[in-house]
Structure 1
Amino acid sequence: MRYSDADHRLLASWAADCAEHVLERFERDCPDDPRPREAIAAARAWVRGELPMVEARAAAFAAHAAARTASDATAVAAARAAGHAAATAHVASHAPHAARYARKAAGAAAEMDWQRESLPEHLHAVLAA
Structure 2
Amino acid sequence: MKFSNQELLKNIQEIGHVSQKELPVKVSYAIAKNISKIESELKIYGKEREKLIDKYAQKVDGKPLSDKNDQIIFKPECKEDWDKDIKALLDIESDINVHKFSFSELNGFKLSAADLMAIDYMIDEK
**Normalized against structure 1, the TM-score is what?**
0.34
Q: Which has the higher helix share?
A: 1
Larger radius of gyration: 2
**Normalized against structure 2, the TM-score is what?**
0.34
